[in-house]
Chain A
Amino acid sequence: METLLNIVIYLPLVGIPLIVLSKNETTQKWIALLVTSVTFIASLPLMFGFDVANSGTAQFLTEGGRLIESLDIKYLVGLDGLSLLLFMLTTFMGPIVILSSWNSVTKHLTGYWSMLLLLQTASLGVFSSLDLMVFYVFFELSLIPMYFLIGIWGGAGRIQATIKFFIYTLVGSLIMLVGLIYLGYDAGAAMGAGTTFTTDWRFLSSDMYTIGLVEQTYLFLAFALAFCIKVPLFPFHTWLPYAHTEAPTAGSVVLAAIMLKMGTYGLIRVCLPIFPNAFMEFAPWMAALAVIGIIYGALVAMVQKDVKKLVAYSSVSHLGFVVLGIFALNTVAVQGAIIQMINHGLSTGALFLIVGMIYDRRHTRMIKDFGGIAKQIPIFTVMFMIATFASIGLPGLNGFVGEFLILNGSFFSELYNNKIFAILAATGVILAAVYMLWMFQRVMFGPITNEENKKLIDLNGREIGLLIPLVIFMFWIGIRPVDFTKYSEAQVNELIEASEAKSMAVLEEARNEDLPNWTAKFYDVRESESQLASTK
């Protein structure tokens, strides 16, 4: 199984030389499809062989040698409850993404398929690496193929969009790199035994390693900045609408379904267990930003004239829910956040695919250019409707499960200790219904105003085929979410307990230290003293 995991991660890379060597365009397509399909099939045993009860411990571990004896940077990949579903989502989306651009991309195909495959490996690497340095390398590597995907195969404003995307995310992750190096030395000193530097997540997240409050604050901010830009959390979201609108369909799908999740995944994977005190103290602030993002994203989505831009802004809104759930820090909300990441990948991925399909036919995405096309293309209408409802969060479909758990969890969150977050966020659900249904109605129903729309052809077999799997999972998660939530449940429980215990230990230590005033105040060090006294 360990070998299988590595095979799954690097199999897409094997496809690249094959594609470069074969000059025939049809062969290239088939190689790309075959490679991603085999990757997906090969990843299935990982899911079935996953020990659900022990999801808290990383499984299928491959551990490489240290870079240098004292420098504990090593190749370390494995899957646990946090990463398994996202890993599977990535392999699952692979063939769908390839199929989605079967005929719509016509130029520089060798490069196109190669970039998609490189992106696949980079994403799989992000979700499976357990050494933060390796994580960082994959995290950055994923920028390169996306840069070219938007820049070469994107729309008219692609160049600015892709540079904005690249530099914006890079600034965040470079700050994270400084934080990571600092953290590595700090943890290396704590590890002892001749080690001066370590980025092994298992050690960093364990109770053997704690960080002082002052350092935690800075490190949390450095890491959270990088992840929040990636998510993107309001107010760091400005790169997203451009990148999404200009990206080719496949680029948008991968960006929405997988790359944005790297941000939210990082928040749970890194920020929570390593900087628990800062995580908890900053939680209300992050939740406030998340709620602003939910409402702001929805309001801006409402006034969009371009369907793709509307879906892009709806991403800002939906990912606000995920962040809200993560920082609520109870099992219900965090579980909701994890399943909502998958849901967003499925439903927004499907929406981008559908927008791409209609764009291929009419070469426009403006809402006003459509209207009344429901009768012309019934299959398309059904698919679009399901994806729309999933995105809104209609009960019975996947979106409902995630949003319900998140709202429920954050309503009772001890960290927020304020129901206003959940209440405000709930209005986001209503707004989502407004902008999605309004858009749907304007695009699909009413009289046909544009003559060209009368000539529209319905979905072909390939397009139906690539949407069907997405639809199946939308229903499956909607009806039996436990089939998916079970993978992360044990780990989420452990993680929250461990983080709380760790934060208490840090506070205990901090009482005996001479802390700067702001830190003592911010973390309520003195108050915890009185609490301890009262419990005694």
Chain B
Amino acid sequence: MDYLGDIQAFLPGVITAIAGLVVIVIESLKKESPLNFYVTILSLASALIISILSLGGEMQTAFSGMLVHGGAVAFGNMVILAGALFCVFISEDYLRGINHYYGETYALILFATTGMLALAGANDLITLFVGLETMSICLYVMAGLIKDEKSGAESALKYFLLGAFSTGFLLYGMALIYGATGTTNIPEIGAAASTELLFLAGTALLLVGFLFKVSAVPFHMWTPDVYQGTPTSLTAYMATASKAGTFVAFILILSRALPVMEGLNWQLVLSVIAILTMVFGNIIALVQDNVKRMLAYSSVAHAGYALVGLAAGTFEGYNAVLYYLFAYTIMNVGAFGVIAYYERNKGLDFTQVQNLAGLGFKEPLMGVALSIFLFSLAGIPPLVGFVGKYYVFAAAINADMVGLAIIGVLASAASVYYYLRVMVYLYFREEHQPISLFTPTLMYKGTIVVLALLTIYFGVEPVLPAEGLMDILSGFGGYGGATALIP
């Protein structure tokens, strides 16, 4: 056993796990110490740098084939860690502002991140399950952080019950697949895949579990309530990093354990789910007055766009999904970040869109940044959201799924209405009563500005990550089971 090599392979996860423990120790010595924040930032940043440095390498196994690292996993790690890092930057001010600052929150974020990293790098169903549960249990606690309010309790309970339920499906699916193939190792499952009933049933249950976690229709019911009840900065974390982790695991399962063959056409199933998700998510978002709920439904719709890339079932499609996760993480953390800023102002419930009237001009930087994020979410060029959507739909079209792409773009045309609506209130309507917004701290402003600049930069210059993606593709190619998927 090469212990050092193994640890090195999972170094980002090791760093975040240790940092989580350190935060707990610090918290027990001194309540609400500012040190927690610095430890968290430092560990996440160093883990992020490590995963960025390992971009472009080949995908390799570690821990006796329980984990993979490098390639697509490194990219996934980067997205997860970037999401976590930006959310922590936002959380520090926000959680203190709403008087729900607990040092343990950072420990939860760090442990959840560790879980996500394990989930994204899972090469074995056991690792996958452990990662998923580590992540989920931390998220359940975060959902209930505002425990003195009804919505917080509702959010946590709903998330926990439904989450446990879906985990049951997932676990049952894994058991059946193990029964059918006699292994829990993902590439070995791919090699032993068959169309016997046991394997098909296991696959179906596994898909249900994953679709629940990425909040695809019809398994999305928990999303709006949970997103609304969770503190906004942590909602951002939930909506981006956890989705990134789950989608990366989903990609690795689909591409390596479930070859498309006669009688096992999960592409068709995912296409139908993708259409439902895009259409329903967008239509229901149209009528939401609460911005957090609106963003929740929008995140359902965005899961639908990502599913389009998965349904394509090609390397191009998987790459597109990876890029999409990156784009989605940047712009969504930004959007939630600005909403969190408005929410903290006294006087009105600023998560209600009507109450945002006229605020765009009050704190111009925040208004402009929110507009950029929303236009990007709507997929307007030259912003990163457009590039993400472009890759996904291009993959679908190249896989002869033009119909799917057309439904996708029409759904995204409908989505423009509710993103525009926020800007209508921000800029086009007069405020109801004189409101004075507080000035955000330099760190908060800086975070939002960096996110906005990234949103523009990767929209105008999509070259760098695209090249990275091509390297991921080659990393993929070196990996056994997946080649069966190239048409």
Interface residues of A (CB under 8 A from B): 65, 67-68, 71, 108, 110-111, 136-137, 140-141, 143-144, 147-148, 151-152, 158-159, 162-163, 166-167, 170-171, 174-175, 177-178, 181-182, 184-185, 196-197
Contact = CB atoms under 8 A, between A and B. Distances in A.
The prevalent SS among residues of B at the interface is helix
Given A67-B463, A170-B380, 8 more contacts: A65-B463, A140-B386, A144-B375, A152-B427, A152-B428, A177-B409, A181-B394, A181-B398
B57 interface: no
B462 interface: yes
Contacts of A171: 410, 413
Sorted from nearest, which 6 A-B pairs have the closest CB atoms?
Answer: A174-B409, A137-B381, A151-B428, A171-B413, A181-B397, A181-B394
B466 A163 contact: no
A159 B428 contact: yes
B268 interface: no
Interface in B424-468: 424, 427-429, 462-463, 466-467
Nearest to A162: B428
Contact of A185 (B380, B397, B412, B467): B397
Contacts of B412: 174
Nearest to B368: A111
A140 B424 contact: no
A177 B463 contact: no
B409 A178 contact: yes
B381 A178 contact: no
A162 B92 CA distance: 38
Contacts, number: 83
A159 B398 contact: no
B398 A185 contact: yes
A297 B412 CA distance: 32
Interface string B461-484: 011001100100000000000000
12 contacts: A71-B466, A110-B364, A140-B386, A151-B428, A158-B428, A162-B428, A166-B416, A170-B413, A174-B412, A175-B406, A178-B397, A181-B393
A141 B381 contact: yes
The prevalent SS among residues of A at the interface is helix
B250 to A, nearest CB: 24
A158 B427 CA distance: 12
A197 B395 CA distance: 11
Contacts of A141: 380-382
B409 A163 contact: no
A136 B416 contact: no
Contacts of A184: 394
A140 B381 contact: yes
A239 to B, nearest CB: 14
B192 interface: no
A67 B466 contact: yes
Contacts of A159: 424, 428-429
A108 B382 CA distance: 25
Contact of B361 (A108, A167, A174, A177): A108
Nearest to B398: A185
Contacts of A167: 413, 416-417, 420
Nearest to B462: A67
From A108, A136, A140, A178, residue with most partner B Cβ within 10 Å: A178
Given A152-B427, A159-B424, A163-B424, A182 B397 contact: yes
Contacts of B405: 178, 181
B402 interface: yes
Contacts of A197: 394
A197 B390 CA distance: 13
Interface in B145-161: none
A92 B77 CA distance: 50
Nearest to A70: B470
Contacts of B380: 140-141, 143-144, 170
B467 A175 contact: no
Contacts of B416: 166-167, 170
Contacts of A182: 397, 402
Interface string B379-403: 0111000100010011001100010
B428 A174 contact: no
Contacts of B463: 65, 67-68
A224 B402 CA distance: 18
Contacts of A140: 380-381, 386
A136 B382 CA distance: 10
A132 to B, nearest CB: 13
Interface in B238-253: none
A306 to B, nearest CB: 22
